[in-house]
Amino acid sequence: MRILVTGAAGYIGSALVKALDGHEVVATDQSPPAPIIGNLAYPQFARSLITPQLDAVFHLASLVSGGAEQNFELGMKVNLDATRDLLEACRLAGHCPKFVFASSIAVYGGVDEVNDETPTAPRLSYGAQKLMGEVLIDDYTRRGYIDGRALRLPAVLVRPGGPNTAVSGWSSAIIREPLAGRDYVCPVAPETRLACISLNKVVASFLHAERIPAERLGKRRTLLLNGIEASAQQMWDVVKGKATGKVRFAPDPAVQQVMDGAPKSIFSKRSTELGFPSSASIEEIVREYEETTLAHHG
């Protein structure tokens, strides 16, 4: 298969590219190590990526929550306009590839528990942009321009490297930093909870989304991935016995306000019935991260 991956140098994208080993992968991002460097905010670049030879598109590139909130114009260009440019390129090419879109539980707002029937009500521009992308995916699929699938992702743990602009970035840092021997000041209260899933399960979900037959999905092409509930204190408790770094809680009012309105747990009967994987516990998520980190350093 010939497969396009946008956001290929990112956290999820780079892991997905590795998992696609054996296929012909066209990997693009705005920075190395992606072999094709370019900015999806420019329509000509976005549209140049789509060719009739593509079998599938994994569209992961985005400006995440905090960044899209701080820079509305750039968020619209990257999260909405670039998505439409890619979809338009598929339409104009007269080709109908699988099109797998990374959406987010940011499409919800102000609810603790989310299921398949929970209405969308985004409270961040990022969530609104992702929701508009989902609507486009459904419509372009209905018209036969693509064979679309959109995955609403919980917080994906544990992100390596430095922090990004995601409002939920603390949930990775509170695990990663003390395990790496660095002290960390957590910007939310210990009892702050969020819905999360491991990187391994998300990559497996993207691969499964591409393979699943269109007739099993029907007209509703957006799928909600299951996310377990975990608090900041639980995350710290899992690692503090083996960590050399320390954690101090110093809530930031702006971050706390956003997290208080974010979903705390997710259960999707539909995704479960369709065979999408899910994480079992925060302990499992940390164990997977440690195994991946050890393998990388080994």
What amino acid positions are annotated as catalytic residues? 126
Placement of tokens 């990187």 in the chain: 199
The answer to whether 169 and 231 are in contact (CB under 8 A) is: no
- In angstroms, the Cα distances linking 276 to 56, 61, 141, 229 are 19, 22, 21, 18
**Residue 4 and residue 57: Cα distance in Å, rounded?**
5
The answer to whether 46 and 4 are in contact (CB under 8 A) is: no
| φ, ψ at 26 (rounded to 5°) | -100, 105
Contacts of 201 (CB under 8 A, 6+ apart): 225, 277, 278, 279
Tokens of 1: 């298969």
**Residue 221 and residue 33: Cα distance in Å, rounded?**
31
The answer to whether 185 and 174 are in contact (CB under 8 A) is: no
Which amino acid belongs to residue 34? A
Residue 22 — left, alpha, or beta (φ > 0 → left; ψ -120 to 50 → alpha)? left
Sheet holding 155-157, edge to edge: 155-157, 193-198, 228-231
Strands 2-6 and 56-59: parallel
CA neighbor of 227 nearest in space, from 168, 276, 157, 155: 155
